[in-house]
């Protein structure tokens, strides 16, 4: 009997692979899938008072969400901020990766390690260091006042959407740098040379050859920056003030001092759904665009 199973095991790669995968899959199911399904069901309950929850199914929390102007505004604002962060991060990181992929000859790995190193230092501390820089008594303001350029500190730097966007752009840089570099590095340089030999201008070579070929990296970067930043909590909480607040700060409040777990769960579900839909649209549009360009 045992030898029978052994034979199946030895012959079948599917069985072998899933045996190896089972701990990871069990972890994912127990610690992520089941909790998220439960979160989904809680979004259909009702918070009666501080302690009690009414477990009859209702879609009222979703209606509540869209009737609360604040929540809808915060959702839109979160998406807008993440969109800006993704775009700025991509545009600013692209030339750096381009340089390393095509112009750096020696020690490429070292350049990359140096680029991603700051990312490994505590996220909380990186956000905090922007507070030191942008604060009313921070580095920028105190320097400008000391230099006699300003009399009053610039207040728009701190507790604003701008502060949140700058900080997130810094915090998520590594997630654009790595996929962009990997896709640029893969490009066969003879394509670019062929383009040049055929008389295309540098600009045309970039738009018609290099950029389309690097699109997998661009899409990868969009995915891993846009989705998580929509749900960012630390940056808006430390630097956002009222102007730069995002949906996550409200979600936290529903699980904390407001104590409306169903509405919090509904907000989280709506956030995730919206992000997933937008990401699917964006990556499809980008793919279509590639087909047109090439």
Partner 1 sequence: MNEKNNTLLIYTLLYFGFLYVPVLFLPIFSFNDANYMSFPLAGFTTEHYEEMWSKRNLHKALWASIKVGVVASVISTTIALFAAKAFARYKFRGEKISYGGIMMPFLIPEIILAVAILIIWINLGFKLGLVPVTIGHTLFCTPFAMLILIARIEGFDFSLEEASRDLGENAWGTFFRVSFPLYLPGIVAALLLSFIISFDEFILAFFLTGSDATLPMYMWGQMRFVQKLPHVLALGAVIIVFTTFIVLLAFWLRNVGQGKGKKDIAVKL
Interface with partner 1, residue 95, by CB under 8 A:
yes
Minimum gap (Å) between residue 229 Cβ and partner 1:
8
- Using CB under 8 A, pick the residue from 60, 88, 185, 282 that binds partner 1: 185
Sequence-ordered list of residues with C-beta below 8 angstroms from that of 229, at least 6 positions apart, any chain:
81, 82, 85, 86, 168, 172
Looking at residue 46, the DSSP 8-state letter turns out to be E
Q: Which listed range, 59-67, 69-77, 87-95, 281-289, lies at the site for partner 1 (CB under 8 A)?
A: 87-95
Looking at residue 57, the DSSP 8-state letter turns out to be -
- Closest to partner 1 by CB, 110 vs 292, is 110
Interface with partner 1, residue 71, by CB under 8 A:
no
Interface with partner 1, residue 155, by CB under 8 A:
no
Structure tokens at 259: 């104590």
Looking at residue 68, the DSSP 8-state letter turns out to be -
- Using CB under 8 A, pick the residue from 11, 31, 284, 287 that binds partner 1: 31
Residues found in the chain? 294
- Using CB under 8 A, pick the residue from 5, 7, 11, 16 that binds partner 1: 16
- Closest to partner 1 by CB, 23 vs 199, is 23
Interface with partner 1, residue 76, by CB under 8 A:
no
Distance, CA of 62 to CA of 281 (rounded, Å): 23
Q: Give me the sign of the Cα torsion angle 27, 33, 38, 39.
A: positive
Q: Which of residues 113-152 bind partner 1 (CB under 8 A)?
A: 113-115, 117-118, 120-126, 128-130, 132-133, 135, 137-139, 141-143, 146
Interface with partner 1, residue 32, by CB under 8 A:
yes
Interface with partner 1, residue 27, by CB under 8 A:
yes
Supply the DSSP string of 8-35, one letter for each residue. HHHH-HHHHHHHHHHHHHHHHIIIIIHH
Interface with partner 1, residue 191, by CB under 8 A:
no
Strand, helix or coil for residue 62: helix
Q: Which of residues 222-281 bind partner 1 (CB under 8 A)?
A: 223-224, 227-228, 230-234, 238, 248, 251-252, 255, 261, 264-265, 268, 271-272, 275
Interface with partner 1, residue 34, by CB under 8 A:
yes
Distance, CA of 280 to CA of 293 (rounded, Å): 20
Sequence-ordered list of residues with C-beta below 8 angstroms from that of 239, at least 6 positions apart, any chain:
127, 130, 131, 134, 158, 159, 163, 164, 167
């Amino acid at each position: 009997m045992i030898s029978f199973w052994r034979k199946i095991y030895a012959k079948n790669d599917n069985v072998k692979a899933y045996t190896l995968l089972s701990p990871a899959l069990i972890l994912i199911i127990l610690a992520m899938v089941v909790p998220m399904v439960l979160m989904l069901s809680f979004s259909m309950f009702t918070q009666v008072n501080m302690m009690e929850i009414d477990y009859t199914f209702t879609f009222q929390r979703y209606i509540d969400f869209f009737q609360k102007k604040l929540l809808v505004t915060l959702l839109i604002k979160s998406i807008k901020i993440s969109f800006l962060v993704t775009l700025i991060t991509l545009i600013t990181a692209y030339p750096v990766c381009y340089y390393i992929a095509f112009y750096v000859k020696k020690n490429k790995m070292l350049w990359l390690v140096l680029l991603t190193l700051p990312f490994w230092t505590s996220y909380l501390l990186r956000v905090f260091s922007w507070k030191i820089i942008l604060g009313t008594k921070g580095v920028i303001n105190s320097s400008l006042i000391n230099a006699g350029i300003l009399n009053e500190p610039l207040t728009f730097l701190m507790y604003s959407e701008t502060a949140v966007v700058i900080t997130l752009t810094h915090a998520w840089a590594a997630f654009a740098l790595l996929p962009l570099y990997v896709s640029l590095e893969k490009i066969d340089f003879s394509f670019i040379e062929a383009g040049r030999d055929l008389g295309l201008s540098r600009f045309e070579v970039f738009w018609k050859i290099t950029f389309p070929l690097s699109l997998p990296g661009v899409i990868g970067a969009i995915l891993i920056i846009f989705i998580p930043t929509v749900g960012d909590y630390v940056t808006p909480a430390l630097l956002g003030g009222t102007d730069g607040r995002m949906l996550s700060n409200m979600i936290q409040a529903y699980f904390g001092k407001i104590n409306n777990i169903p509405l919090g769960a509904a907000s989280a579900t709506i956030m995730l759904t919206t992000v997933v839909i937008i990401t699917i649209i964006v990556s499809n549009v980008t793919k279509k665009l590639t087909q047109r360009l090439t």
